Amino acid sequence: MMSLIIYKSILVLIVFGITLFIAMYSTYAERKIAAFLQDRLGPNRAGPFGILQPVADGLKMFMKEEIIPGVSNKFLFILGPSLSMLTCLMTGTVIPWGSSLHIGGGEYSLQVADVNIGILYLLGVTSVGVYGIMIGGWASNNKFALLGALRASSQMISYELGMGLAIIALVMTTGTLSIGEIAAQQHGGHWNIIYQPLGFLIFIICAFAETNRAPFDLPECETELVGGYHTEYSSMKLGFYLFAEYINMFISSAIIATLYFGGFNMPFIGRFIHEPNTLVLLGTFFLFSKIFFFIFLFMWVRWTLPRFRYDQLMNLGWKGLIPLAILNIAITGIVMWLTGKIN
Amino acid sequence: MQSLTNRSKQVSNKEMTLIERAYLPAILNGMLITIKHFFRKKATIKYPEVKREFAPVYRGMHVLKRDENGAERCTACGLCAVACPAEAITMTSAERKPGEEKLFREEKYASVYEINMLRCIFCGDCEDACPKEAIFLTDRIVPSDSLREKFVYGKDLLVEGVEENKRVDISKRQTKEVLEFKNNKELQHNRLK
Ligand code: SF4
Ligand code: SF4
């Protein structure tokens, strides 16, 4: 029991560290990719190829003057970014980063907590994440920030529905709510994307909206809202908000890769390598390559598409994605009935 | 109507088809365009290490030339100040004392010669107006500063050094055609002198 707790704590710390590290370098990657897509070079001064840029950025964030507006609710003002950060870090615990390692007779799962309602936990925690934005926007006592926060919460509600419905169809085919189980089921090339292409499309669009990334970045719209929900924030509190967005992006990519793209599975690899522990570590490697691809996709889309207008956003969510998701559920049900999976 | 570029598109109010309304093909098309740029050659020039080449006719900071013996060519005639549309040039003239022949080519010289670089529009009219081949615009850039006073450039900054290696090369601006042009009395601009 004790060793299990120690093992899990170490795993949590590692997941934490990796998440923060990847989020840190996502900021760098974002700038580099943006530059490359626009025929520029991007940061290249701090260190070779500018790889020390995130360190410099972080240092700058810490050194900046910290301003808390006098009219704001101080407690909530500080709570906002902390909550954003907390919730997005919490989601990393239910993602299976690989199957189980066998060390000295013991079996060590690379998933911190294989709760059997993992998907519900994910949906719940990500919805709490919007409280961070909402509280921050409200506590600033600034109309622009409040508008940004309102947009964020209404967008979150609209797209959470579509996402939930897309997942229902997925749960119908997999028959489980445990993420570890879903990942394991996709062994041998049975990736869910093959069975749920429409569901995947809906899910990924909703994931874009939930992470507040372009083209869904209405909560932070410089042209209309000065800065959006973080208008009044400065220094590292602003850094937390921006950082939370990158962590969210990483976790979203991990979820997409796990739910629809086989997670740590890679077809045919078992034919060449038989040593189980190597296979597990390779699986983690594959998972991360999938994650990086999706992070790249997030950025690629961001620097391609312009931001939605607010009514377009709402139309897409309520009149587009939700009916489509319901249709998807119906189709999934009919196909399952026809193939005799249910009777 | 003839279009100026080959990129113009016919506009119409036609209803969008279902595929078009789904936007996905358009989005994928856009992403294809951006990813192509990902692999393109970048337009950025890494400035301090790599410098962009200027066109030979680039007009940057002025220089007041000396002649072969190292004497200042400017005779403080004031023609450049008159020609300057921005009124950036001011000068005070002085008489050459005996024994200063090495320093100044003519009997009159500019004891003070100032160009206000904030007013100057780098049109090059001063260069055209000068009858003594004294003032030229060069490929040097006027450095930036945060104080306005520092942009009034006196002789200390404008006159080139005496030593061979401190001379400023203006041969690109002083071609045979330019000299011919300057000596052509038919032209309005040269007649005025
Ligand atoms: S370049 Fe034009 S504006 Fe500048 S000093 Fe000469 S004449 Fe005046
Ligand atoms: S026109 Fe030439 S010679 Fe006359 S004052 Fe100007 S620089 Fe000197």
Give the nearest partner residue to A305 out of B30, B41, B46, using CB atoms.
B30
Distance from the alpha carbon of residue A114 to the mean position of ligand 1, in angstroms:
76
Chain B residues touching A301 at Cβ < 8 A: 27, 31
Segment A269-295, tens digit of pLDDT: 767 777 777 777 888 888 888 899 999
Which residue do the tokens 């874009």 mark? A208
Distance from the alpha carbon of residue B190 to the mean position of ligand 1, in angstroms:
17
Chain A residues touching B34 at Cβ < 8 A: 37, 300, 303-304
Residue identifier of the C-alpha nearest atom 3 of ligand 1: B120
User: Which ligand lies nearest to the CA atom of residue B182 in the structure?
Assistant: 2
Q: Does B25 touch chain A (CB under 8 A)?
A: no
Segment A230-242, tens digit of pLDDT: 888 888 888 888 8
Q: For residue A61, what are its two tokens?
A: 């964030």
Instruction: Please name the residues between 26 and 85 in chain A that touch chain B, using a CB distance below 8 Å.
Output: 33, 36-41, 44
Q: Is A100 exposed, middle or buried (0-12, 13-18, 19+ CB in 10 A)?
A: middle
Distance from the alpha carbon of residue B99 to the mean position of ligand 2, in angstroms:
22
B31 to A304: CB separation less than 8 angstroms, yes or no: yes
Q: Which residues line ligand 2 (CB under 6 A)?
A: B 74-80, 129-130, 132, 134-135
A300 to B40: CB separation less than 8 angstroms, yes or no: no
Please check whether residue A182 is in contact with residue A176, taking contact to mean a CB–CB distance below 8 angstroms. yes
Question: What is the chain A residue with the closest CA to B39?
Answer: A36
pLDDT of chain B, 193 residues: tens digit per residue = 677 788 877 788 878 777 777 788 888 888 898 888 888 888 888 888 888 888 878 888 999 988 888 888 888 989 999 999 999 999 999 998 888 888 888 888 999 999 999 999 999 889 888 888 889 898 888 888 899 889 999 998 889 888 888 888 887 777 777 777 667 666 555 444 4
**pTM (whole model) above 0.90:** no
What is the percentage of chain A residues whose pLDDT exceeds 70? 99
Which is nearest to B133 in space by CA: B83, B64, B60? B64
Q: Does B30 touch chain A (CB under 8 A)?
A: yes
User: Coil, strand or helix: which one is B63?
Assistant: strand
Contacts for B35-39: CB closer than 8 Å, 24+ residues apart: B35/A37, B35/A300, B37/A36, B37/A37, B37/A38, B37/A39, B38/A33, B38/A36, B38/A37
Q: Give average pLDDT by consecutive 10-residue segment, chain A, 343 residues.
A: 81 87 88 88 83 87 83 83 86 81 74 80 84 85 84 85 88 84 79 84 88 79 75 84 87 88 77 76 85 90 85 86 90 86 69
Q: What is the ipTM of this complex?
A: 0.75
